[in-house]
Amino acid sequence: MSRQSRRVVITGVGIVSPLGGDKETFWQALLTGRSGVATWTLVPPDALPVPFGGEARDFRGAIDDFGPLGKEQSKAIRKGLKVMCRECQMGCAAAQKAMADAGLSPGSFDPERVGIAFGTDHMVTMPEDFTESILTCLDEEGQFDFSRWASDGLPKMNPLWLLKYLPNMPACHLAMYNDLRGPNNSLTLREAAANVALVEAFQTILQDRAEVMVVGATGTRIHPIKAIHTRQQEELAEGDGDPTRACRPFDRRRTGMVLGEGAGAVVLEDFDRAVSRGACIYAEILGGASSSVAGRDRLADRYQALRNALMMTFQRTSRSPETIGFVNAHGLSTRSADMEEARAIHDVFHDRSTPVPVVAPKSHFGNLGAGSGMVELIAGILALQQGQLFPVLNYEDPDPDCPIAVVAAGQPQPSGNSFVNLSFTPQGQASVALVARAD
């Protein structure tokens, strides 16, 4: 089969999110306008700079959270949980669910022809991992004595500590648990990671280096160190009001992003293979692009990066903005990011005969870090499958600086036959994926 004639489709989805851990619950929450943002339960309310966020409350890191598993898989994953941080656990759980949803179990495929592409954040150590070692090195005045670290502190560290936080570990664990021997790559690109991993996996199948690719992304902003970095460097929603109203993308009264956590995964498959085995086909991947832009002052230019990625996506897929059913926006809910994103969307789509509808899944659960792009992709896929769009939560007062057609509550609209999934980072890296209903 030529590369030109090969098609790549999605045959499985898996999710761990503040709106639940299965696609039915997740979709109903989006459709009915339910928020996953609430006061912290996994950490003390005063442990982070803000007292609320989007926790994946249903995810406990237990073996039952990983979906249907064979006996040997269950045994291996249970053993591996102790060397996985929460981000890694969520990512593996989402991917195992996606594989089960696609009907891929060990022994049902050629392991040499199944690979992985996985996106992550930087995985940061939890402070308690060092507590015992540091206490061992305190002098009589309670001050840390570094000269004692090698002899007294380091031996107290878990020898497998580092394995919990390596960003390539979700892909490694998945390969071992499922005997996946095809191409395997990990991308540490923050919020841009999911679309980049998706397009890399798409290209891998087009080039016939694999027939199936498991693609996922996992991330968190609910972390003491990451939350401090966010407070110092980004716009963070604050206030003592209703947490469910804190995230309001493109609304005039937005005050900043909401912290969250989550993971998502999809199974990509050669179209003919999927049809031959009678797989459920959710959607088709048509392509995508990424761009990173910063000025001479080293400040990120998110507008130009996103515009570049959108234009390249249309060029590579031979599609036009007129054909797109909706835009699945990054929708961070900060003053600056939303204005730059809205400007890019307006500039690329302004020649359409009708305004392109824009949705923003983050309004329901906040910024999940690298996990956001994949969880949002699944939201878009489910909208395509259902033929209708979900509303942007808390969009009540349109911002004139964001001249786009945001889908508000009470304004039901059809999804059309395709969408673009947008993601970008504070550093100016943008990524786009174009997804369509599979004919």
Contact yes or no for 214/99 (Cβ under 8 A): yes
Would residue 408 be called left, alpha or beta, if left means φ above 0 and alpha means ψ between -120 and 50 degrees? beta
Range with the poorest average pLDDT among 77-91, 150-164, 295-309, 414-428: 150-164
Instruction: Give residue-wise pLDDT tens across range 71-107.
Output: 999 999 999 999 999 999 999 999 999 999 999 988 8
pLDDT number for residue 231: 80
| Contact assessment for residue 420 and residue 434, using Cβ atoms and an 8 Å cutoff | yes
Per-residue pLDDT at 4 exceeds 60: no
Residue 3 above 70 pLDDT? no
* pLDDT per residue as tens digits for the range 292-343: 999 888 899 999 999 999 999 999 999 999 999 999 999 999 999 999 999 9
Q: Would you tell me how many other CB atoms lie within 10 Å of the CB of residue 353?
A: 5
Q: From residue 41, how far is each of 35, 56, 126, 370, 418 by CA, in Å?
A: 15, 10, 17, 22, 37
pTM of the model: 0.95
pLDDT at position 388 is 97
pLDDT, position 1: 35
- Mean pLDDT calculated for residue range 101-122: 94
Residue 57 has pLDDT above 80, yes or no: yes
Mean pLDDT of 392-399: 97
What is the pLDDT of the chain when averaged over all its residues?
94
Whether the predicted pLDDT of 127 surpasses 90: no
pLDDT of residue 2: 41
Q: Residue 435: what residue type?
A: V
The conformation of residue 389, written as its DSSP 8-state character, comes to P
pLDDT in tens, 255-277: 999 999 999 999 999 999 999 99
pLDDT at 360 over 70: yes
Distance of CA 428 to the CA centre of its chain: 17
pLDDT at 239 over 80: no
Question: Residue 236 region, left (φ>0) first, then alpha (ψ -120 to 50), else beta?
Answer: beta
pLDDT digits (tens, 9 = 90+) for 39-52: 999 888 788 888 99
Residue of 216, 257, 250, 252 whose CA lies nearest to 234: 257
The rounded distance, in Å, linking the Cα atoms of 432 and 313 is 7
Residue 429, beta-bridge partner list: 292
Taking residues 122-129, what's their average pLDDT? 86
pLDDT for the residue 308: 98
pLDDT at 428 over 90: yes
Which one, of 275, 270, 171, 272, lies nearest residue 215 by Cα?
171
Q: Is the separation of the CB atoms in 215 and 227 below 8 Å?
A: no
Q: Tell me the torsion sign for CA atoms 306, 310, 312, 313.
A: positive
Residues 87, 21: Cα–Cα separation, whole Å: 15
Give the separation between CA 313 and CA 8, rounded to whole angstroms.
16
**% of residues, the chain, pLDDT over 70:** 99
Average pLDDT over residues 152-179: 93
